[in-house]
Structure 1
Amino acid sequence: MDVLDWTMTPHKYRPNGYGVMAAPADSWSWFPPLAAGVSLLKCLFINAYHSTDFEVHRNWLAITHSLPVSSWYHENRSEWTLDYPPLFAWFEFGLSQVARHFDGRMLQVENLNYASPSAVLFQRLSVVFTDLVFVYAARECCSCVRGPKTSRDVLNWPSFILAVLLLWSFGLLIIDHLHFQYNGFLFGFLLLSIAKHLQSRHLQGALLFSILLNLKHIYLYVAPAYGVYLLRSYCFTQDNADGSVRWRSFSPVRLLVLGGIVMSVSALSFGPFIVMGQLPQVLSRLFPFKRGLCHAYWAPNVWALYNTLDKALAVLGVRLKLLEEAELPRASMTGGLVQEFQHAVLPSVSPSITLVCTLLSILPAVASIWRRPRGPRGFLRCLLLCALGSFVFGWHVHEKAILMVILPLSVLAVESREDAGIFLVLTTTGHYSLFPLIFTPPELPVKVCLMMIFTIFSFTALQKLHSGQGSLLHPLEVIYLLGLVAMAIGCEIIFPLSPWQQKLPFLPLLVTSVYCSLGVCSSFLRLYATLLRADHKPKQ
């Protein structure tokens, strides 16, 4: 039986999937302290390490505050040029109106790499403050989860477990509040959009996702899931008895309304730049295909495995005297740089090849929800497969994009035993793959402790929630995850003290990406397996 009841019922008490009454609204008294606690923790990281992304966003503040709109996407005095969609540029402009009261010098374009204490304080607090969008979205997602709350033990409450998995997400904490970005603000729109679809409020969900796309275009990864699901479940009002589409049930009015929402948001975002004739310039900034197949820190995906196999074949070919080392291209792909490179033995991969691979990987998922939508839960599973397929096969994927899968998967993890097992493997490997982003010694104990606490809670809470159904993991998965511990000790403690540190400084990155790729790719296959099993179940 499906634990999630996605219908909206105005009554104060609503029956859930267990046949008991869901708790009233005042039972959410535990949520504010949980959110306040993580906000306080974020404030403790104000003076911690921050990456070059700190300067990226400081420069964007300066660009949008000091320059006319016509210059925003042309300014290039800094290497960190504006490369997010226009709505995010306006978001930075809004932040700059507050920033000038902290330190006006941070808003001067020529002040490159400016990081005064006041500037650091403002930018750190701006992330904490804008995370309120994420907090609200987490609350909305938790309200969609129904489970028995007759026990006094909160670890038996799916809504509480989901709140912790979202609000105290290890990945978000280190990416936004150590490394520095505004992912919490953006993921807030994604989760809020998902929650609206779970509540069958399709137009609100479409509006929120349209806004999100115009804030950060990486969410194009999941656009196919939204497009197909909305067309199938909102624009078609009825089905045949066998679940097939009846074209005469199509509602052109609903399609026009959806199209109007998307076009209106896009017009507000891109309209001024279209009028100024700058659309090609904006698009060239949004899609810089010359950055190479992989990011400096390889994302744990298929291309990490492909690159490693190419390197291994090249070394083997030289040793067997089948290849001449002088004739091989330099292996810049292992140098930790963002640039194009040629593979030595295997065929080099172009953006078009990655696009074809990505489309092929998500096609079965979108075809499945067209043929048999299975409600918002089917949509959410398709969204996850689109996000993970794009992560596994996409061009120049950032390792941080794994959060686009981990966070929404949390919703299914508290509802399904099988999804909980997938979540544990994916969240552990995905989170560990973020370790190289925080490489400074003072932050080592912070990231280790935070991940240990989050991982222990995830395993304990989900196992207890799904108790009586056996272990959530297969024995091989347990062995694989234990291997992460050995790898962490080797990469974080032993390797920095060894002579290999000077000879092969990027070896830990390679090992981390390759090992974590196995967990990410296997999770992708398991998610597809759950979709295929659902497709073969008889329609109720």
Structure 2
Amino acid sequence: MSIKNYYKGIVVTLSFTIGAIIKLALLPCYHSTDFEVHRNWLALTHSLPLNQWYYENRSEWTLDYPPFFAHFEYGLSKFARYFDSAMLDINNHNYASEKTKLFQRLTVIGSEIILALAILSFHFKCLKSLTHLYIDIHFQYNGFLLAILLLSISCMYQNQYLMGAIWFSTLLNLKHIFLYIAPAYVVYLFYAFCIRQSSNCKSFVINLITLGMATLIPFIFSFGPFILMNQLPQVLSRLFPFKRGLCHAYWAPNVWALYNVLDKALAIIGRYTHLFQVRSISVSMTSGLVQDIEHQVLPSITPAMTFILTIIFMIPSLFRLFRRCSKRTFLETIILCALTSFLFGWHVHEKAILISIIPLSLLAFDSREHARYFLLLSIFGGFSLFPLIFTGPEIPIKIALFITYTTFLFYTLGEVHGDRGSTFTLPLLNRLETLSVILLIPLCLYVECLHTVLHIDRILPFLPLLVISIYCSFFIMYCWIRLHTIEAHQEDELTAIESTVKFSGRWNMKQRKKH
């Protein structure tokens, strides 16, 4: 058995064994507002007929996921009544009995069984790799959604294009945030299935129609009833609420976090120097509220601007995918599309970083460079999620888990790629990257301890969120740039090889003609 396969097997086994134990041990821990969101959706889908699901607004946590996820909640509600029927009372807001918490946490853990199946599919059939362990006290059904993504990619790697398209279409109808990576699927399926597998114009048209029908089937089952009830505009208004503002309450570590800070700095300078006009605003962008905001000096950003920027920065990787259309390039394009959307998208949630980290983990054992940026993206992406868990008892737990997981990654990937680090560098990282990781220690100390001890929280309550977001933004952008560079370098190498092969072929033909 090779060292790579040895460590892959160890990581897969340990990840799920330890992960399950830890998640069960953390059942009594803190739960976020997402707990009440999903409890309300359980009650909503259980108590109301289908035609009222996307109109119900007695709670501030209205249903804003696609219909398949609403039906998933409806299915869970059938079991919820055996734990505590009071959680299904639509007027029982902020209800959180021990049995309710137990049920909801167990459903999260149970739904992740599909994640194990997806990883096994990759481990034994496709990339022979794995995804990393993500332990989430913050209440979300992330595991099984990411598992469906892996199942879809797995089908693509096995040339099961229609099944891969159906899985991805199903995923979009569970959580529409995966639209981030839809362009990669469109380009890859169009070329790999419609063009490459067509011998003539007729077969191309047949393949295109077949692919379109396979993609539409989940949408028909999902949105069909609401179309028949003339409720499609209402459903779409819930799924795409553009009035929520450029950034979430906690700024995701992306370009717009840096843009906001620059605007804030220019506003302060402008007030004292009068070098430029500072517009008055009714609501501070650091208020921690989810709402539309305006900038004071820089131009205010609109949803259309973020969409255009996102598409523009996706084009290079999509063009390379169309030219090469290999399975590896497809996976790399998914990663870059996810990162591009995370960095430039509208109202991005901090947890969306997982959509790029999970696919990148599939390349970490097969490529030294991808392992390097998987490490950095996992570390800074993971650290950027620290503010989601802020209650006292859970702080030591999240820090311990983060350190354990990071150490495990460094050791495992370092062994696989033959780099155990040195006196001044961590495995696979250079000195600057090593320093950036080490600086997380004093940053964590300030955010989790000194900010409160020094009573700075009374003056600048948003500062810890701001510092984490800004610091992580730089290094997530760094990973995005470097991953683009890797893909472009591979493109140049392949072009050079093709040119050499063509030249060699022409030379051999000339030599044969001479003889």
Q: TM-score, normalised by structure 1?
A: 0.87
Aligned to 1:119: 100
Question: 8 Å contact 1:60–1:82 — kept in the other structure?
Answer: yes
Q: 1:44 aligns with which of 21, 25, 32?
A: 25
- 1:495 and 2:451 correspond: yes
TM-score, normalised to structure 2's length? 0.91
The answer to whether the Cα contact below 8 Å between 1:236 and 1:250 also exists between their aligned partners in 2 is no
Aligned match for 1:533, one of 483, 486, 489: 489
Amino acid at match of 2:187: V
CA distance in 2, matches of 1:75, 1:21: 52
Whole-angstrom distance in 1 between the partners of 2:11 and 2:216:
40
Contact 1:228 1:370 in 2 (8 A): yes
Query: What is aligned with 2:120?
Result: 139
Whole-angstrom CA distance in 2 between matches of 1:269 and 1:421: 40
* Match among 338, 353, 358 for residue 407 of structure 1: 358
- TM-aligned CA deviation for residue 205 of structure 1: 1.2
Equivalent positions of 1:11-22 (< 5 A) are: none
Q: Which of 354, 372, 379 is the aligned partner of 1:421?
A: 372
Structure-2 separation of matches of 1:33 and 1:300: 30
Aligned partners of 1:180 and 1:443: how far apart in 2? 14
Cross-structure match for 2:386: 435
Partners of 1:412 and 1:419 within 8 A in 2: yes
1:33 to 1:457, Cα distance in 2 relative to 1, 3 A: closer
**Contact kept in structure 2, 1:236 and 1:249, CA below 8 Å:** no
Matches within 5 A, 1:54-65: 54-65=35-46
- Verify: 1:77 aligned to 2:28, yes or no: no
Counterpart amino acid of 2:292? E
Tell me the equivalent position of 1:366.
318
Q: Is the 8 A contact 2:286 2:462 kept in 1?
A: yes
Given that 1:206 and 1:261 are in contact with CA atoms closer than 8 Å, whether structure 2 keeps it comes out as yes
Aligned residues: 490
Q: Deviations over 1:6-61 (max 9, x none)?
A: xxxxxxxxxx9x9x9989xxx96995675243222211111100001000000000
What is the alpha-carbon root mean square deviation over aligned residues?
Answer: 2.3
| Residue 257 (structure 1) aligned to one of 210, 214, 219 | 210
Given that 1:238 and 1:249 are in contact with CA atoms closer than 8 Å, whether structure 2 keeps it comes out as no
Q: Find the aligned partners of 1:322 and 1:421 in 2 and give their Cα distance.
A: 44
Distance 2:338 2:91 in 1: 38
Q: Cα distance, 1:346 vs. partner?
A: 0.5
The superposition leaves residues 389-418 of structure 1 with CA deviations (integer Å, 9 ceiling, x where unpaired) of: 000000000000000011110011111001
Task: Say if 2:254 and 2:343, in contact at 8 Å, map to a contact too.
Answer: yes
Q: 1-side partners of 2:4 and 2:373: how far apart?
A: 29
Letter in 2 for 1:254: N
Residue equivalent to 1:209: 168
Provide the residue aligned with 2:70 in structure 1: 89
Partner of residue 144 from structure 2, selected from 185, 189, 194: 185
Shift of 1:270: 0.3
Alignment partner, residue 153 of structure 2: 194
C-alpha displacement of 1:499: 2.3
> 1:231 — aligned with what?
190
1:304 CA drift (Å) = 0.3
In 2 relative to 1, CA 36–353 (structure 1 residues): closer, same or farther, beyond 3 Å? Answer: same
**1:139, distance to aligned residue in structure 2 (A):** 1.4
Contact 2:126–2:157, Cα closer than 8 Å, also in 1: no
Unaligned runs of 5+ in 2: 422-426, 499-515
Partner of 1:515: 471
Q: Kindly indicate whether the alpha-carbon contact (under 8 Å) linking 2:411 and 2:420 is maintained by their aligned counterparts in 1.
A: no
Q: Give the CA deviation at 1:434.
A: 0.2
Deviates more, 1:200-209 or 1:303-312: 200-209
Counterpart residue identity of residue 250, structure 2: Y
The residue that corresponds to 1:266 in the other structure is 219
1:42-82 per-position Cα deviation (integer Å, ceiling 9, x unaligned): 11111100001000000000111110000000000000000
User: Relative to 1, partners in 2 of residues 1:129 and 1:439: Cα closer, same or farther, differing over 3 Å?
Assistant: same
- Opposite residue 129 of structure 1, the aligned amino acid is G
**1:179-224 C-alpha deviation (Å, 9 max, x unpaired):** 1010101111001111121222222211111110000000000000
Q: Secondary structure at the match of 2:319?
A: helix
One-letter amino acid matched to 2:153:
I
SS in 1 for 2:153: helix
1:295 is the counterpart of 2:251: no
Q: Which AA in structure 1 matches 2:215?
A: V
**Greater shift after overlay, 230-239 or 426-435?**
230-239
The match for 1:351 is: 303
390 and 28 in structure 1: CA distance in 2 versus 1, 3 angstrom threshold: closer
Q: Please give the secondary structure, in 2, of the residue aligned with 1:90.
A: helix
Is 135-144 or 458-467 further displaced after alignment? Answer: 135-144
SS of aligned partner of 1:228: helix
Letter in 1 for 2:418: S
| Cα separation, partners in 2 of 1:22 and 1:481, compared to 1, 3 Å | closer
The answer to whether the Cα contact below 8 Å between 1:293 and 1:350 also exists between their aligned partners in 2 is yes
Identity in percent: 48
Alignment map for 1:434-453 (pairs within 5 Å): 434-453=385-404
What's the secondary structure of 1:81's corresponding residue?
A: coil
Relative to structure 2, which stretch is displaced further, 30-39 or 54-63? 30-39
**Distance in structure 1 (CA, Å) of the matches to 2:402 and 2:382:** 8
Q: 1:490 to 1:144 in 2, by over 3 A?
A: farther
- Higher mean C-alpha displacement, 86-95 vs 493-502: 493-502
Aligned to 1:152: none
Residue in 2 aligned with 1:218? 177
Asked if the contact 1:298–1:510 (Cα under 8 Å) also holds between the matched residues in 2, the reply is yes
Task: Tell me: CA distance 1:468–1:421, structure 2 relative to 1, closer, same or farther (3 Å).
Answer: closer
Distance 1:21 1:182, change over 3 A: closer
Residues 1:462 and 2:413 aligned together: yes
Q: Secondary structure at the match of 1:336?
A: coil
State the 1:368 CA deviation.
1.1
* Structure 2 CA distance for aligned equivalents of residues 31 and 353 of structure 1: 41
